[in-house]
Structure 1
Amino acid sequence: MLPLPDSVPPPRDVAFGGTIRLAVDATDLARHILSVHETVPVPASLAASGGDLTLLYPMWVPGDHSPTGTLDQFGGLVVKAGGVPVDWVRDSVTVSAFHVPVPKGTHELDVSFQLLSPVSPAEGRVVMTPAMLNVQWNAVSLYPAGYFTRRIDVQADLRLPHGWQYGTALRAHGAQGDTVAFDPVPYNTLVDSPLFAGRYFRRIDLAPGAAVPVTLNLVADKPAELAATDAQIGAHRALVAQAGLLYGSHHYDHYDFLLALTDELGGIGLEHHRSSENSGPRGYFTDWDKTFAARDLLAHEYTHSWNGKYRRPADLWAPNFNTPQRGSGLWVYEGQTQYWGYVLAARAGLMTQAQVIDALAEVAALYDTRRGRTWRPLQDTTNDPVIARRAPLSWRSWQRSEDYYSEGQLVWLDADTLIRQLSGGKRSLDDFARHFFGTHDGSFVTSTYGFADLVQALNDIQPYDWASFLRRRLDRTSTHAPLDGFTRAGYRLAYTDRPNDFMTSYEALRHVADFSYSVGFVVGKGGTLSNVEWGSPAWQAGVTRDAQLVAVNGEAYDPAVLKDAITEARDPHAAPIALLLKEGDRYVTIAVSYHGGLRYPHLERLPGTPDLLAGILAPRH
């Protein structure tokens, strides 16, 4: 067997020396191509002797928790020294590394390439449309191996389509025509500061008069989608205020929400230290009463500035963007963030308490009926970003996916209500959040932690055997989700034939019809079954995902027809529900024996108990 080639230089906590100059041209909207030019200084020692300089394309993007760098879209690499092309060589093991033989006496390299971004969703996430674009600096830059990214300085310029406006956490020091020159920043800060730009743009101040500004930057497919009312803006301002009351600190000198209201730009929900990077439905403002299922998103991403970006599990911190990360603490990083996302959305008025309670009912039902929990513990799902990378799964309810998000949310509701119970209502998870995430007000420096640190912080708030409490919920398999938090809060999970309002909003946003808790599947666009629940009546009958539901009991499918058929089959003597399915080029009729009627999850009050959820979701003053 041939030996492996020399390894890529490991990152060291030393200054790179010099500033990389990065210029990106984002004007080729028709072909979806971003053109890049970099001027990379050569370290003095290497310039004196000549030799190998390794340039890396970022692969481990913070927040994705897996190597999601768009290396497949990278093309046209040309490297020149003194105007003369240099024959670079790609590393045959670390294929995101490019070895450049630097001639002796060379003090800088000229590097150019293109990001050949997707022209349709079939090729990946679309980042350029006729009305907007999303520049992620990790996708349009190379950086030198051998250094912590915080020790590499970069000055970036961006050429935008004429007349477009932009939002980003970066700050500019000038512009020439349509080219914006941003202030020099460390490379890790650049990568953590994506940009949205658009033909239709609006900027809203969410913290008027505050010493630390917070801004909502909006881009949209159509200008009418930017028409937020004063009350809607007020709810977003209340989010900033409620987060401040919760954490008692901030870890940014300014914060920029980036929100694209679009059907064309690819969907995204990514956290950053001083910004969000999100897409939402076109009717986010204009169909306010119908789109509330999307309105915990900004609260979730904002919380990440404290939980995930500032306080971070130690194995999710890395010195550069090509060092593998491990996600053992994602049940805190994402799970508690999911919890606060719902809580802050309610406290701010982005969602009503009733809407959040319906959302929690759906979460409880989803994970209480997830069969995969009988073989795969929650802790193991923190490996899923690397295992599956959010690819479609044949049997998600059995395989499990990134369940640390919402089952993690249930664990933290469990902890919150237990703290409240043990302390006689004097303390809560709010106190933990301030104690754990609110340290070193104003500091941008990431503060890492391990499991023992987390347990100690919980004990600081309320003495208890928190280590055992958490490990039982993380490491053991079970037949039911951790629902004790609802019981302590004065609620129980129940099912009725009345639709859950949160699910109705979610169905409209995603263009699906959810029958998970009755026959056991979700129907998407064109009648395609996007999910079939393992062990459900449909699964037992042999129904699989990706089949197209053509007819129900001989009548062309639409959601109302299937609802009527399920209702009529409640008679225990009724015939099975006949589903005509198209599977590839074959048509099959499958009889589903189910007599339970329509079932939608709800949280019902337990008589004679205090309503802790009302207190948890109430705004702070």
Structure 2
Amino acid sequence: MITITLRARAALLASALVLPLSITPAHAQAVRSAPTALPVAASVPDAVDTPYGGTIQIDIDATDLAHRVFRTKQVIPVAAGTKTLTLLYPEWLPGHHGPDGTIDALNGIRFLVDGRPVAWSRDNVEVYAFHVFLPDGAKEVTAELVYTSPVTGSEGRVVMTDDLMNLQFNQMTLYPAGHYVRQIRVKPRVTMPAGWATATALDGQTQKGDVVSFAETDYQTLVDSPIFAGKYHKSWEIADKVTIEAFAHDPGDLVMPEGELDAMKAMMTESDLLFGSRPFDHYEFLIALSDDLGGIGLEHHRSTEITLDPGTFKSWEGGQSAEGGKYPDKYGFSVDVIPHELVHSWNGKFRRPALTWTPDYRQPMRNDLLWVYEGMTQYWDLPLAARSGLNTKELTLGEIADAAGSYAEADPGRAWRALIDTAYDPITANRKSKPFSSFSRGEEYYNEGALIWLEADMMIRTKTKGAKSLEDFAKIFFAAQNGDYGEKTYSFDDLVADLNSVYAYDWAKFLRDRVYTPGAPAPVKGIELGGYELVFKDEPNPFRAGIQTEYDYLNLYYSLGMSVNGDGKVRGVLWDGIAFKNDIVAGQTIQAVNGKAYSADAMQAAITKAKDGSPIELLVKRGEDYRTVSIDYTGGLRWPWLVKKGEGETLLDEFLSPRR
């Protein structure tokens, strides 16, 4: 007989419990559930080129200034027997180059039939789509929408203030799925705050009391025709059926010196000479002189939305107010954004890349040719600004130098990222700030694209001894029947064919080498062919000096590899530059330079003094930590300039000279 103690019995029981685990084969796998994907059913119809039945009535109440709210009522006819009406909110908007429809601000959504609410649901795949479930016999649906526009800049772009408004119809309306937007008829009406003026490219504007009505149009034209409105307004005619419609908080800002008005008129004359035709029947420059209304510079076919700093018009002196650049970090556009957006009527609106044109605002845009859409527009706005007198020649040369310098010395991302890939940046980055933009690159298709077209132009002028230029291409490629504000699409091959019609060359290889190839040489050849060279001086050129003054910062990318705000806060750092190698990054603050409190003057003096070999001592603060950084740099202050290589007029001089 064997006697087992209680402790031994417990040990045996425990070992028995773990025994099955101990004999599991080493190669056996643990149990892991694995679902099978459910198919995604298509629930939103694709757009077809057929008319939508009936006309949609649109009423917008824009009077709630206190809360910055727009209230929309749409009456939408429906075909007999319709059980489900699918309505879309615009997502992919022309000119935005990405899916940035502000659907998050669309609230209070209700749909009614015969005055009674009906059920609806948001599509769980395409969240910009709403399915409205209709009772038998429904003939029309009333949509009630509340658009809660941003109250502060931290919530998005401010579009309504106490005395100014930028109403964009795409933000506060829906449209039926399944049709080209040009096939959807609408009849819009807006109730404005009492006493406000209203300007838009929409036709047939009439007003009764505070209700502003417009002629029936199509939804595409409606979305392409925003409204600027406000208490204080002034209009100037600068060409036949072309006006500047300006709004301001202070009526004293609505003053345009005679020389500036002459320059605006000259811009239109120069654009007519450049392109030879007009793809619009009338055109309105919608301009707000405001620090409160959110910054914008957005093209439309018969108008443009532009925000300028208050006082821009009245302080203009021969182009000297044009110092903000196209797209600085802080929105605040100089007057040369005006010719830029005008050029878009030809390039981007009338002639549009085939893959960028879409039949509605649901289909994604493909940005393959954005270096033409934006890059060539950036190129043509340079001579229009200089030839008209909106900008001085010196500022324009400085702008070219500024772009070329960045690619020649401060753009390490070129080694891995081809220009074509930056065309997708509005989609992949949604235009947000980046920690090391010189390495990741941004929307380089603007400036680098312009410099590529400069090279093409100067090469044609050189090879033909001045007989031909890219201006001959412009007259062919952008040729329009006057007044035609439709669209004419093009491909890469179409572009190459029209270039060859001006000057026979392997343009396909020329463009692919520069646009589609990582590590392409810095685009400075056009400057050299134009009779100038890129050099670096110890003071900023007029264009860069103006930007630094306007935005209160110091650009030291070509010396210490960083830029610094007026209060010493580092705003950006060049990848693998001197600051980078000393562990300085954006957001840190330079408290002192060589033992003195930080100032732009102190920093520049220290960099200049260091040319004799003495180090630059920086006291840098990151969070609550301080450290001293000793930088050995003897290259002095450096900014890019264009300098003429010889005497007399060069090809680049001729390019910037008036034609009228």
Q: Tell me the TM-score normalised to structure 2 length.
A: 0.90
CA distance in 2, matches of 1:92, 1:382: 29
1:427 maps to 468
Q: Which has the larger radius of gyration?
A: 2
CA distance in 1, matches of 2:249, 2:627: 41
- Structure 1, residues 255-277: CA drift from partner, whole Å, max 9, x if none? 00111111111111110000011
> Is residue 16 of structure 1 aligned with residue 52 of structure 2?
yes
2:88–2:174 contact (8 Å) kept in structure 1: yes
CA distance in 2, matches of 1:527, 1:187: 49
Amino acid aligned to 2:285: F
CA distance in 1, matches of 2:659, 2:373: 23
Most deviating of 585-594 and 219-228: 585-594
CA distance in 2, matches of 1:436, 1:391: 34
Deviation at 1:347, TM superposition (A): 0.8
Query: Among residues 331, 341, 366, which one is paired with 2:371 in the alignment?
Result: 331
Query: Among residues 503, 516, 529, which one is paired with 2:557 in the alignment?
Result: 516
2:199 maps to 167
CA distance in 1, matches of 2:516, 2:155: 37
1:204–1:217 contact (8 Å) kept in structure 2: yes
1:301 maps to 341
2:164–2:231 contact (8 Å) kept in structure 1: yes
| Equivalent position SS for 2:539 | coil
2:163 maps to 131
CA pair 158-581 structure 1, distance change in 2 beyond 3 A: farther
Deviation at 1:285, TM superposition (A): 1.8
CA pair 266-524 structure 1, distance change in 2 beyond 3 A: farther
CA distance in 1, matches of 2:292, 2:418: 37
| Equivalent position SS for 2:580 | helix
Query: Among residues 116, 123, 132, which one is paired with 1:91 in the alignment?
Result: 123
2:567–2:599 contact (8 Å) kept in structure 1: no
- Structure 1, residues 437-479: CA drift from partner, whole Å, max 9, x if none? 1233332220001010000000000111111111100122226
CA distance in 2, matches of 1:551, 1:133: 44
Query: Among residues 282, 286, 307, which one is paired with 1:254 in the alignment?
Result: 282
CA distance in 1, matches of 2:261, 2:422: 37
2:351–2:488 contact (8 Å) kept in structure 1: yes
CA pair 488-173 structure 1, distance change in 2 beyond 3 A: closer
Count of aligned pairs: 611
> Is residue 343 of structure 1 aligned with residue 383 of structure 2?
yes
> Is residue 287 of structure 1 aligned with residue 327 of structure 2?
no
Q: Tell me the TM-score normalised to structure 1 length.
A: 0.96
Deviation at 1:546, TM superposition (A): 2.1
CA distance in 1, matches of 2:617, 2:387: 46
- Structure 1, residues 202-251: CA drift from partner, whole Å, max 9, x if none? 111011xx3xx000011123222211111111111111110001000001
> Is residue 35 of structure 1 aligned with residue 58 of structure 2?
no
> Is residue 100 of structure 1 aligned with residue 128 of structure 2?
no
Amino acid aligned to 1:331: W
> Is residue 216 of structure 1 aligned with residue 216 of structure 2?
no
Moved over 6 A (4+): none
Most deviating of 227-236 and 587-596: 587-596
Deviation at 1:567, TM superposition (A): 1.1
2:514–2:520 contact (8 Å) kept in structure 1: no
| Equivalent position SS for 2:59 | strand
2:29 maps to none
2:281–2:482 contact (8 Å) kept in structure 1: no
CA distance in 1, matches of 2:207, 2:399: 45
CA distance in 1, matches of 2:296, 2:203: 23
CA pair 403-173 structure 1, distance change in 2 beyond 3 A: closer
2:361 maps to 321
2:255 maps to 227
CA distance in 2, matches of 1:516, 1:606: 25
Deviation at 1:535, TM superposition (A): 2.2
CA pair 223-590 structure 1, distance change in 2 beyond 3 A: farther
CA pair 548-174 structure 1, distance change in 2 beyond 3 A: same
| Equivalent position SS for 1:412 | helix
> Is residue 531 of structure 1 aligned with residue 581 of structure 2?
no
Amino acid aligned to 1:588: R
2:300–2:349 contact (8 Å) kept in structure 1: yes
1:281–1:509 contact (8 Å) kept in structure 2: no
2:394 maps to 354
CA pair 526-141 structure 1, distance change in 2 beyond 3 A: farther
1:76–1:114 contact (8 Å) kept in structure 2: yes
2:111 maps to 79
- Structure 1, residues 87-107: CA drift from partner, whole Å, max 9, x if none? 110000100000001112111
Most deviating of 495-504 and 389-398: 495-504
- Structure 1, residues 104-125: CA drift from partner, whole Å, max 9, x if none? 2111111111111111111111
2:538–2:639 contact (8 Å) kept in structure 1: yes
CA distance in 2, matches of 1:192, 1:486: 37
- Structure 1, residues 540-589: CA drift from partner, whole Å, max 9, x if none? 111111223332223222211211111111112x02x2333332343333
Amino acid aligned to 1:485: G
1:244 maps to 272
2:9 maps to none
1:179 maps to 211
2:566–2:600 contact (8 Å) kept in structure 1: no
CA distance in 2, matches of 1:463, 1:482: 21
CA distance in 2, matches of 1:620, 1:608: 22
> Is residue 596 of structure 1 aligned with residue 635 of structure 2?
yes
* RMSD of equivalent CA atoms: 1.4
Deviation at 1:525, TM superposition (A): 5.7
Amino acid aligned to 2:437: R
> Is residue 465 of structure 1 aligned with residue 506 of structure 2?
yes
CA distance in 1, matches of 2:279, 2:624: 56
| Equivalent position SS for 2:523 | coil
2:278–2:480 contact (8 Å) kept in structure 1: no
Deviation at 1:359, TM superposition (A): 1.0
Most deviating of 604-613 and 92-101: 604-613
1:371–1:479 contact (8 Å) kept in structure 2: no
CA pair 58-420 structure 1, distance change in 2 beyond 3 A: same
1:263 maps to 291
CA distance in 2, matches of 1:223, 1:315: 44
CA distance in 2, matches of 1:588, 1:63: 45
% identical aligned pairs: 43
| Uncovered stretches (5+) of structure 2, i.e. residues with no partner | 1-36, 324-333
Deviation at 1:605, TM superposition (A): 1.3
> Is residue 66 of structure 1 aligned with residue 102 of structure 2?
no
1:566–1:595 contact (8 Å) kept in structure 2: yes
